[in-house]
Amino acid sequence: MSKTIIWLEDDTNVIDPVVRPLERAGYTIVRFNTVEEALQAIDQIRTADLLLLDMIHLPPATGEDFGRYPGLTVLRQLRETHGVATPVVVFSVVSHTQTHAQLRELGVADIIRKPVLPSELKRRVEQVLEAGA
Amino acid sequence: MPGDRLRKMQDELLDLFALATDLPIVSFEYREGQWMGSFPERGRANFESHCNLLHTFPGGRKLCEEDMCQRAARVLETGQGHLSQCHAGLYNLALPIRETEGTHTVVLYGQMRLAEAPYQQTAWEKHCEVRDKLGLTTAQGEQLWQALLQAKQFPRGKLVELQHRLPQIATALNALIDGHEVHSHVLRRAAEKICHELKTRLQAMVATAANLRDEWELLAPTDLRHELDVLVKEILALDTVVENLSDQTFLSDYRFTTQSIVSLLYLAKHLYEAEAARRGIEIAIHLQGYTDLHISSAHLQYAFSNLLHNAVKYSFRGTPSRPRRVQVTGAPYPGKPGYAVTFENYGVGILACEKIKIFQKGYQGKLTQREFRTGAGQGLAFVQQVIERHHGSIEVESTLMADTQDPLGRPHRNKFTVYLPYRQPGDTA
């Protein structure tokens, strides 16, 4: 059975080619474009094999304040409120060292900075999947 | 004041104030248990000749400074501005400048005398006290008294008016400082948004080019694959430019505190450990001696992270049977009150003629270009700026490890040594 990767990213239409090697290798990529979509699909994230998470998103249409890095807020909610233990790889442009430290505390398996080669993304995602298998 | 830009702005404001009022101004900052005084350009020029004369007598300057510190301390205790008579009989106003965490800076200005007769009596009494305290001769005492009589004279009403305006001046100064902070914050957020947009586009380009190259590996003509390869590398080099510029933009003003550099080096290791492991490289840190330095930690974090990342990036790959090592060593600097940190790797070298050029903005190392591992020529320029702002220095050594006349592509032992003094000028801790 193919492994499922949830990709929370609001620019999937622009950077979609980056996951092509993963799809060609047989992984199922489920794309969520907004934080609301992700938070409405917590059970789907819980049972997925990996969450590929962007940090920066547009503010939700609901007007709810998700702070400077909505991805970080979503991750906190998943981990702390809903007890979701799915391995997480952060795939984002955020490069501040302090944010990285917070992500590590939340048990993020890897942090990949954009831009990255698609082959490199695939290799590192597979490394995390193998470690969790 | 939080940071250099705000400090500069405060000095400019005080200069304008001195220009408009002809009053001398001193700003006192309470830092680590001591008051540190500084004078804006005009503030010093407006000093009364009486005060300047007093400073020429042995003990005179000390007397003045002690008196100013006492009045600044009163502002710190009460958080309120006040009007008071100095040790020599002139009136001064003290004004608090609000900081992020309470009041740390006090502005003193004034050196005014009053025209009314009761004041003349008080001023004479104060003058006599100073004269006796400093052991002045009769002639010196007379000279000082005449100078006091030449000081700017105000009617009492004017003094009361100034006193009334004191809180308004404080409010205006603080509003300007707050406005500047909001402005900086907005600029940083805008820079972050631009960086995000640029990197998203770079990601789209690099993914498309790399997929084309990889998926058509066997079918596409060699020259097309080569062009795609160059394109991918150039996009990634462009990303380094964006990365360095954004890192530098997000750094706030320099803020110096005394702290150990150990955590900075371990955080840098933490950031690049995974990348190093993928390349078969181990990062080892070995520090000895006293590591507490007076530093701006966010800036030094950037410098250390950049140097460690370079050491990893420009190392030759290791293998399971022969892992490579990037070594960070630290020790007190021999013969100087400071600490030296060395970042050492085994990989792409730096030519002797490049050892200064690599710190110039936009310069890209010749050997790294040959290896297709070129940076953007921004990072090291900023690292040097950070080190120099700490009154330190950085040195480079690159030694060819193989016996050959052609150093290109040959392994070098590279060392970047950062020297940092334990204390910064003005740090009295």
Give the span between the Cα atoms of B343 and B336, in whole angstroms.
20
Comparing CB atoms, the residue among B195, B196, B203 nearest residue A18 is B203
Least confident of B21-25, B61-65, B172-176: B172-176
For residue B343, the model assigns a pLDDT of: 97
Tokens at A83, concatenated: 């007890």
- Assess contact for B316 and B322: CB atoms under 8 A: no
Contact A118 B247 (CB under 8 A): no
Phi, psi of B382 (to 5 degrees): -70, -35
User: pLDDT digits over B256-287, tens only?
Assistant: 888 899 988 988 888 788 778 878 899 999 99
Q: Does A112 touch chain B (CB under 8 A)?
A: no
Closest CA in chain A for residue B233: A117
For residue B277, the model assigns a pLDDT of: 84
**Three-state secondary structure call for residue B335:** coil
Nearest to B203 by CA among A51, A19, A100: A19
Instruction: Look at residue B371 and tell me whether its pLDDT is greater than 60.
Output: no
Q: Does B206 touch chain A (CB under 8 A)?
A: yes
Write out chain A residues lying below 8 Å of B235, CB-based: 115
Residue A39: other Cβ atoms inside 10 A: 20
Comparing CB atoms, the residue among B210, B250, B301 nearest residue A117 is B210
- Assess contact for B176 and B17: CB atoms under 8 A: no
Q: Does A46 touch chain B (CB under 8 A)?
A: no
Q: Does A23 touch chain B (CB under 8 A)?
A: no
Average pLDDT, stretch B181-209?
82
Pairing of strands A88-92, A110-113: parallel
Residue with tokens 């592509």: B409
Give the span between the Cα atoms of B275 and B280, in whole angstroms.
9
Q: Does A115 touch chain B (CB under 8 A)?
A: yes
Coarse DSSP helix, strand, coil percentages of chain B, rounded to the nearest 5 percent: 50, 20, 25
Contact B239 A104 (CB under 8 A): no
Q: A61 versus B159: which is more confidently predicted?
A: B159
The interface residues of chain B toward chain A in range 341-360, judged by CB-CB distance below 8 A, are none
The one-letter code for the residue type at B3 is G
Q: What pTM was computed for the model?
A: 0.56
- Assess contact for B346 and B327: CB atoms under 8 A: no
User: pLDDT digits over A41-97, tens only?
Assistant: 999 999 999 999 998 766 666 666 667 788 888 899 999 999 999 999 999 887 665
Average pLDDT, stretch A25-46?
92
Residue with tokens 């110096």: B256
